[in-house]
Chain A
Amino acid sequence: MRIDWLLGVVWIVGFGAFLIAAIWLVRRSERRLSVGPSDPDAPIAPEPSSSDAISAYLDRVSGELLLPAADVAEVRAELADHLQDSIASLEAEGLDRERATREALARLGSADELGRNLRQAHQSTRRLLAGVGGGVFAAGGGFVLGYLGGVLIALLLAMVVFVITSVLARLGLPLPDLGDHGDTLNSVLLGISVAAAAALATRYAVRTSAGLSRRAPRSIAIFWAAAGAVGFGWYSIFGMRGAQSWPGIVVDLCIPVVVVAAAFVRIERPMPHVGRWAVAILLVSVVGVSVLGFAFSAASVSGDALPALVEGGQANQPVDMHFDTVAPLAPAAWLPSGNQFYGGGSGPDWDGTQITAVVGPDAVVPMSTAMANWHDVRFEAWHGFLDNPSVSYGIDPHYSSPFAVQPAAVHDTYLDAVFHFERMRSAGSWWVMLTAVGPDGHRYRLSDGDGGSSHFNGSAWDWLTAPL
């Protein structure tokens, strides 16, 4: 086992720096979005005791601004200060208070026009670009943080489910056996994690880009909601691969809705911020998970290896494997040199599971010769018992027909076919047999086949369009 520690350290430091930068950017941008007495960064001068005319004027200006709350408060305070100064000057010139106020307001011009001009001045193209870039960056950080948070939530849910099922089992209540090796739970937990990540990413993006581009969060939320619903919706339906189940599919399909809700619901309100301890715990988690990931990746064993190959014609099977359920064994006279077809090998392919068959190991016969007596040669996939070999082994006799059939492709020295068990919702344990129609017109099995176990591994779309 060899671990590239330099790469690991660079990766961990870079990742941590990215998260800290994203959190810093969000917090900094958010300062523009809210103003309150507890906000130390709000540089707002107190609005002077204004007359009704001044208040009405400022209200009309504010109505046209459509800026974040801090900017609106700043503009109001600045204009109020300006008007106060202007009124004082006019009063010094001899005007009474009422005329001075009217004159001061008149010199600023139309409130609506001033508001629009100020809005255009704030919402420059440069700030819009900064908002888009900052929003994308913050969304990246939010996605990672949300995913980690979602994993924690999912683990808590898993623990709750475990406790409930344990209690029910102790009470002797019958529990439904999903029989899917945890695929349902895994797919639901993955969906919850991604939903949390998408929600936080969208929220980070809206608030950051609103603060940087000086736009009201709700006016910008619609763009991020649309982009997030399309982007995360695409990812949840087409891009997120792994174990699937119907409950998991429901969670996946809810992700676009979650994104839209995250973009709009209480978007003006500040988010609960990640405190120092949370950052510390997060960094420790990232470091720990990264180290474990590197350690395990160095020593990982690939794949859903097929556990057993049954060699054709061998009599070391202690139990009845119900091979005759498929078809009777081919008469030796019709087989090349009397050899049964070797069960062949199978291996998980990147794009399916390849099943091969060759003529017995002691007889190297060209496949064209071997197949002289046979036609309609095909591989048949039957449900099997491989999941629990101690109980039974071989073909599950409860089924009277194969669940998948592939014609054998004839090569120079072997036959093969590719099965996509990982795209079938309920492949589970399987056993693949080579069968063909003999000279008498009956179908026989040419080998005792090969068994394995597969779980669905694909996207939500693959699941929805998978053969039953």
Chain B
Amino acid sequence: MTTAGGPNGGNDATLLSRERDHVLKTLGDDALSGPAILRRMIGRPAEPGDQGLLYPALHSLEAGWALRAEWATDAAGKRRRTYRRRRFLPILPSRTKRS
């Protein structure tokens, strides 16, 4: 995974767009923090800069009203910024799954 920025703006935009899609797919209907989303991303190579686009993608999705972010306390009592897909319509009961 490469990072955005630098002279190759078009390619960077594509990478960021791909990262956003990846984040949305990974997030599903759950509320997850950044590290939790990262752990869910299967097959992601561990290399320098591989996490550089995660937070820009999350924040741009939040700015675009695709995600809702809030500070929540996890089971360990730690406050974490968690992200959840923003839904403008209620989820149908048949699609509700137990988390």
CA distance A433 to B10 in the complex (A): 80
Instruction: Give A23-38 as 1s and 0s: 1 = Cβ < 8 Å from B's Cβ atoms.
Output: 0000000000000000
Instruction: Give the number of A-B contacts (CB < 8 Å).
Output: 93
**Closest chain A residue to B62, Cβ basis:** A121
Q: Knowing A81-B33, A81-B81 touch, does A114 contact B52 (C-beta < 8 A)?
A: yes
Q: How far is the CB of A465 from chain B (nearest CB, A)?
A: 50
Q: How far is the CB of A99 from chain B (nearest CB, A)?
A: 13
Question: Is B80 located at the chain interface by the 8 A CB criterion?
Answer: yes
| Residues B20-39 near A (CB distance < 8 A) | 33-35
Q: How far is the CB of B62 from chain A (nearest CB, A)?
A: 8
Identify whether the interface residues of A are mostly helix, strand, loop, or mixed: helix
CA distance A124 to B61 in the complex (A): 10
| Residues A91-142 near B (CB distance < 8 A) | 106-110, 113-114, 116-118, 120-122, 124, 126-127
CA distance A121 to B34 in the complex (A): 15
Given the complex, which residues of A lie within 8 Å of B34, measured CB to CB? 78, 81-82
CA distance A77 to B69 in the complex (A): 14
**Closest chain A residue to B6, Cβ basis:** A113
* Best-buried of A85, A86, A122 by chain B (most CB within 10 Å): A85
**Closest chain B residue to A78, Cβ basis:** B81
| A45 and B4 within 8 A (CB) | no
Q: How far is the CB of A212 from chain B (nearest CB, A)?
A: 11
Instruction: Count how many chain A residues have C-beta atoms less than 8 Å from C-beta atoms of the other chain.
Output: 30
CA distance A335 to B60 in the complex (A): 89
| A118 and B48 within 8 A (CB) | no
| A107 and B46 within 8 A (CB) | yes
**Closest chain B residue to A110, Cβ basis:** B3
Q: Knowing A81-B81, A107-B46, A124-B60 touch, does A116 contact B51 (C-beta < 8 A)?
A: no
| Residues B42-62 near A (CB distance < 8 A) | 46-53, 55-60
| A121 and B81 within 8 A (CB) | no
Instruction: Specify which of A45, A116, A124 is in contact with B63 (CB 8 Å cutoff).
Output: A124
Given the complex, which residues of B lie within 8 Å of A109, measured CB to CB? 3, 48-49, 51-52
Q: How far is the CB of A33 from chain B (nearest CB, A)?
A: 17
**Closest chain A residue to B13, Cβ basis:** A120
Given the complex, which residues of A lie within 8 Å of B55, measured CB to CB? 75, 78-79, 82, 114, 117-118, 121
Contacts A107-B51, A117-B56 known; list 14 others, CB within 8 Å.
Answer: A45-B71, A45-B78, A74-B81, A75-B55, A77-B81, A79-B55, A81-B80, A107-B50, A114-B3, A114-B56, A118-B55, A118-B56, A126-B64, A214-B63
Would you list 15 pairs from A and B whose C-beta atoms are within 8 A, ordered by A residue? A45-B80, A75-B59, A78-B81, A79-B55, A81-B34, A81-B78, A82-B34, A107-B48, A117-B4, A117-B52, A121-B55, A122-B59, A122-B60, A122-B63, A124-B64
What is B's interface to A at a CB cutoff of 8 Å? 3-6, 16, 33-35, 46-53, 55-60, 63-65, 70-71, 78-81
